């Protein structure tokens, strides 16, 4: 109940912001923070609650983005329809990847590497085929109006993303209190012990990666309408994958509000980094790398875990320990 | 209820289960004892589906369960505990037990209520909100028992739930196990604590080097020269005799 109230307070606190803040810079900043929160929420489902650390969530994000862009440009499908189909397509890609990876019992760093590899494969494919615009990318025509999920002002995107983030908060809250969530967390903590209690880890993880992929795909669809452009590096490049995993790790793995907190914190840090270091390309990734090391070493429970006993923190340390020994 | 028929398992050149056959009667408490490395836990792993046997058959309620996954076997009604306890460290005691309770209960409320009643049964009622990682050894053993019990099993496989407990703690857990049997659950246990085996079990099998070397009531086992030689030793055998006849040696 307390969490539901917290979600409501969060919603009501952010809702009037576009009316109060007139700076375009800050509205854009908030909109992007919400976008990365949403992407992070997708990752958190699988990584935070399921303990499966994907290093290639761009795979789902990019599939959603391309799906909606191609449908809109080539087939004239409405952006909202594209949004739904993007989620479906990315969910299918998630299920396919999950089926392959979990069937062979890949865990930990091996799972991370395979997701990274899949994203790379899709990046190369998107670079090759003409219907994805190859290396040039796709320009989505500007058709302002709610009907095409494009808004006259940045405030429209802010509200859309706020709704999506709140929807995801509610979904995460529901999941944490449902049989599926209990099973997913059991698999994260100890797969053999979960099996001994009748939990099928394969189908549990498969469902998680499908849901996670679908949400990341819908984030891709929103991205396309926001920036009106997509190319293989944006869609399937490692930058998006890193954002997706860093946001919940900074905020707090396997917590409902972790990704939201992480997205705001990360983007404040990124902004400061840009002020200090200037616009040197790739430098923000160096900063992110440093941040990741610091988080794993000193704050494995994320900002949300400050002053709180660990909840799923072991997973992070285990992953990096295992990689160190592998 | 559970029939083990000529079960065999080898790890490379090492035969860990060698032509083992026994039958667990419904409603009984049976014990599987033997020295370390005799292959007791490996037999449990085969019954619960974590290891596939190389030969023989395991029948539960008349049907072979060979080849079923651990989660399927659990659904059929066989639950196991792990010798090395496997708590879900990041979850609290209530959530730990609820995972098993969800097997036959889709609703969260029903699962949590069931988890609480199980926790009270095994004496974890006061620690429901504690993180599993914060439990003592005795607490973790009880949690292991509670988790298995929460799946509403027909047959419970207990792998050394008393190892590492002090005598007072053992005295506390013996009536709990007896209570579980009284509620209609058949129990097969692996145990080194002979006092508990004598006290609890209706039937005992002794395993040595992957082979059954004796079978009978605990009292019969205690006098079996082969068992004394391979496992109990003369001192322990004498003490068990004394315990049975009620004579106390100083």
pLDDT at residue A310 in the model: 47
Chain segment A152-175, per-residue pLDDT in tens: 788 899 999 999 999 999 999 999
CA atoms within 13 A on the CB side of A130: 0
Neighbouring residues of A39: CB distance < 8 A, sequence distance ≥ 6: A57, A61, A216, A219, A240, A243, A244, A247
The count of domains in chain A is 1
Question: How close is the nearest chain A Cα to the Cα of B88, in Å?
Answer: 5
Average pLDDT over chain A reads: 88
Determine whether the interchain pair B71/A198 forms a contact, defined as Cβ–Cβ distance below 8 Å.
yes
Q: Could you give the CA distance from residue B149 to residue B111 in angstroms, rounded to a whole number?
A: 13
Determine whether the interchain pair A197/B50 forms a contact, defined as Cβ–Cβ distance below 8 Å.
no
Residue at A307 is within a domain: no
Residue at A130 is within a domain: yes
Chain segment A255-287, per-residue pLDDT in tens: 999 999 999 999 888 888 888 877 777 777 788
CA torsion angle B195 B196 B199 B205 (round to 10): -100
pLDDT greater than 80 at residue A119: yes
Kind plus residue range of the DSSP H or E element containing B182:
helix B167-182
- Are B141 and B165 in contact, with CB atoms under 8 Å apart? yes
Residue B78 vs residues A60, B69, B82, B151: alpha-carbon distances, Å: 39, 12, 13, 9
Tokens of B133: 């990682």
Determine whether the interchain pair B111/A312 forms a contact, defined as Cβ–Cβ distance below 8 Å.
no
Average pLDDT over residues A233-254: 91
For residue A103, the enclosing domain spans: 2-247
| Residue from A51, A175, A180, A197 whose CB has the most chain B CBs within 10 Å, to mutate | A197
pLDDT greater than 50 at residue A325: no
With an 8 Å Cβ cutoff, the interface of chain B facing chain A consists of 48, 50, 69-71, 74-75, 79-80, 82, 86-91, 95, 98-100, 102-103, 105-108, 111, 131, 133, 147-148, 150-151
Determine whether the interchain pair B95/A178 forms a contact, defined as Cβ–Cβ distance below 8 Å.
no
Q: Could you give the CA distance from residue B82 to residue A193 in angstroms, rounded to a whole number?
A: 8
* A228 φ/ψ angles, rounded to the nearest 5 degrees: 60, 20
Q: What length does chain B have?
A: 250
Is A199 within 8 Å of chain B by CB?
yes
| Residue from B70, B99, B105, B150 whose CB has the most chain A CBs within 10 Å, to mutate | B99
Question: How close is the nearest chain B Cα to the Cα of A305, in Å?
Answer: 13
| Residue from A183, A194, A196 whose CB has the most chain B CBs within 10 Å, to mutate | A196
CA-wise closest residue to A236 among A319, A129, A95, A109: A129
Nearest CA in chain B to A254: B90
Q: With beta carbons under 8 A apart, name residues in chain A contacting B161.
A: none
pLDDT at residue B249 in the model: 45
Residue at A270 is within a domain: no
| Helix, strand and coil percent figures for chain B, each rounded to 5 | 45, 25, 35
User: Which of B69, B70, B102 shows the shortest C-beta gap to A182?
Assistant: B102
Residue at A287 is within a domain: no
pLDDT greater than 60 at residue A323: no
Residue at A169 is within a domain: yes
With H, G, I as helix, E, B as strand and everything else as coil, classify residue A232.
Answer: helix
Total beta-carbon pairs less than 8 A apart between chain A and chain B: 90
What is this model's ipTM? 0.88
Chain segment A1-30, per-residue pLDDT in tens: 788 999 999 999 999 998 898 888 899 999
Between these two residues, A291 and A32, which has the higher pLDDT value? A32
pLDDT at residue A98 in the model: 95
Determine whether the interchain pair A197/B95 forms a contact, defined as Cβ–Cβ distance below 8 Å.
no
Question: How close is the nearest chain A Cα to the Cα of B138, in Å?
Answer: 18
User: Which of B88, B131, B151 shows the shortest C-beta gap to A186?
Assistant: B88
Do β-strands B186-190 and B155-159 pair in parallel, antiparallel, or remain unpaired? parallel
Residue at A289 is within a domain: no
β-partners of residue B207 are: B212
pLDDT greater than 90 at residue A244: yes
Confidence of residue A324 (pLDDT cuts 50, 70, 90): very low
pLDDT greater than 70 at residue A151: yes
pLDDT at residue B143 in the model: 94
pLDDT greater than 50 at residue A315: yes
How far apart, in Å, do the first and last CA atoms of chain B sit?
A: 42
Residue indicated by tokens 């007139």: A22
Chain segment A182-212, per-residue pLDDT in tens: 999 999 999 999 999 999 999 999 999 999 9
User: Which of A178, A192, A311 shows the shortest C-beta gap to B108?
Assistant: A178
CA torsion angle B155 B41 B85 A49 (round to 10): -80
Q: Enumerate the H helices of chain A as residue ranges.
A: 2-14, 17-20, 24-47, 58-75, 79-103, 108-128, 154-176, 179-189, 191-196, 201-227, 232-236, 238-251, 258-277, 283-298, 313-325
Low-confidence ranges of chain B (pLDDT < 70): 244-250
Determine whether the interchain pair A198/B148 forms a contact, defined as Cβ–Cβ distance below 8 Å.
no
Taken in order of first residue, the domains within chain B and their CATH numbers are 2-88+153-245 (3.40.50.300)
The domain that holds A33 is classified in CATH as: 1.10.3470
CA-wise closest residue to B21 among B7, B40, B33: B7
pLDDT at residue B246 in the model: 58
Q: With beta carbons under 8 A apart, name residues in chain A contacting B50.
A: 192, 195-196
User: Which of A177, A193, A314 shows the shortest C-beta gap to B86?
Assistant: A193
Q: Could you give the CA distance from residue B216 to residue B197 in angstroms, rounded to a whole number?
A: 12
Nearest CA in chain B to A203: B71
Residue at A316 is within a domain: no
User: Which of B90, B100, B105 shows the shortest C-beta gap to A197?
Assistant: B100
Residue indicated by tokens 């190892």: B163
Chain segment A54-110, per-residue pLDDT in tens: 999 999 999 999 999 999 888 888 889 999 999 999 999 999 999 999 998 888 889
User: Which of A189, A197, A309 shows the shortest C-beta gap to B151?
Assistant: A197
Question: How close is the nearest chain A Cα to the Cα of B131, in Å?
Answer: 9
Determine whether the interchain pair A309/B131 forms a contact, defined as Cβ–Cβ distance below 8 Å.
yes
Tokens of B80: 């196991």
Is A200 within 8 Å of chain B by CB?
yes
Residue at A265 is within a domain: no
- Are A259 and A44 in contact, with CB atoms under 8 Å apart? yes
pLDDT at residue B236 in the model: 76
Do β-strands B14-24 and B2-11 pair in parallel, antiparallel, or remain unpaired? antiparallel
């Amino acid at each position: 109940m307390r969490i539901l109230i917290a979600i409501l307070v969060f919603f009501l606190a952010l809702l009037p912001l576009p009316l109060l803040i007139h700076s375009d810079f800050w509205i854009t900043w908030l909109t992007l923070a919400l976008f990365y929160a949403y992407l992070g929420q997708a990752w958190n489902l699988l990584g935070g609650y399921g303990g499966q650390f994907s290093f290639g969530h761009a795979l789902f994000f990019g599939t959603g983005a391309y799906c909606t862009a191609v449908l809109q440009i080539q087939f004239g499908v409405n952006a909202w329809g594209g949004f739904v189909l993007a989620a479906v397509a990315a969910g299918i890609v998630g299920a396919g990847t999950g089926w392959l990876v979990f069937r062979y019992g890949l865990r930990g760093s091996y799972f991370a590497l395979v997701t990274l590899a899949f994203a790379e494969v899709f990046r190369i494919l998107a670079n090759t085929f003409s219907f994805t615009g190859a290396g040039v990318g796709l320009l989505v025509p500007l058709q302002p109006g709610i009907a095409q999920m494009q808004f006259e002002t940045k405030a429209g995107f802010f509200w859309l993303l706020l709704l999506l983030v709140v929807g995801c908060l509610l979904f995460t809250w529901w999941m944490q209190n449902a049989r599926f969530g209990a099973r997913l967390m059991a698999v994260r903590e100890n797969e053999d012990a979960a099996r001994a209690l009748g939990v099928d880890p394969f189908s549990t993880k498969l469902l998680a990666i499908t849901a996670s992929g679908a949400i990341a795909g819908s984030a891709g669809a929103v991205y396309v309408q926001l920036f009106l452009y997509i190319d293989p590096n944006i869609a399937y490049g490692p930058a998006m994958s890193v954002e997706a995993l860093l946001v919940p790790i900074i905020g707090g793995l396997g917590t409902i509000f972790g990704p939201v907190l992480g997205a705001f914190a990360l983007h404040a840090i990124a902004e400061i980094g840009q002020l200090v270091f200037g616009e040197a390309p790739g430098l923000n990734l160096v900063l992110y790398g440093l941040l990741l090391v610091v988080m794993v070493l000193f704050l494995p429970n994320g900002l949300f875990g400050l002053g709180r006993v660990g909840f799923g923190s072991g997973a992070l340390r285990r992953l990096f320990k295992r990689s160190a020994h592998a | 209820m559970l029939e083990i028929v000529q079960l065999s398992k080898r790890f490379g050149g090492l035969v860990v289960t060698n032509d083992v056959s026994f039958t667990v009667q419904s409603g009984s408490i049976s014990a599987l004892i033997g020295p370390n490395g005799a292959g007791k836990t490996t037999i449990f792993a085969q019954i619960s589906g974590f290891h596939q046997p190389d030969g023989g058959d395991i029948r539960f309620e008349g049907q072979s369960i060979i080849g079923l996954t651990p989660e399927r076997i659990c659904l059929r009604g066989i639950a196991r505990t792990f010798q090395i306890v496997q708590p879900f460290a990041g979850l609290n005691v209530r959530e730990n037990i609820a995972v098993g309770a969800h097997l036959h209960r889709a609703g969260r409320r029903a699962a949590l209520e069931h988890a609480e009643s199980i926790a009270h049964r095994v004496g974890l009622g006061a620690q429901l909100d504690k993180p599993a990682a914060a439990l003592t050894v005795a607490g973790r053993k009880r949690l292991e028992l509670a988790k298995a019990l929460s799946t509403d099993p027909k047959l419970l496989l207990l792998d050394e739930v008393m190892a590492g407990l002090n005598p007072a703690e053992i005295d506390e857990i013996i009536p709990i196990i007896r209570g579980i049997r009284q509620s209609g659950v058949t129990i097969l246990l692996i145990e080194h604590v002979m006092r508990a085996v004598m006290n609890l079990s209706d039937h005992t099998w002794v395993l040595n080097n992957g082979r059954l070397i004796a079978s009978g009531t605990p009292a019969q086992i205690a006098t079996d020269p082969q068992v004394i030689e391979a496992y109990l030793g003369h001192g322990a055998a004498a003490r068990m005799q004394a315990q049975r006849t009620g004579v106390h040696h100083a």
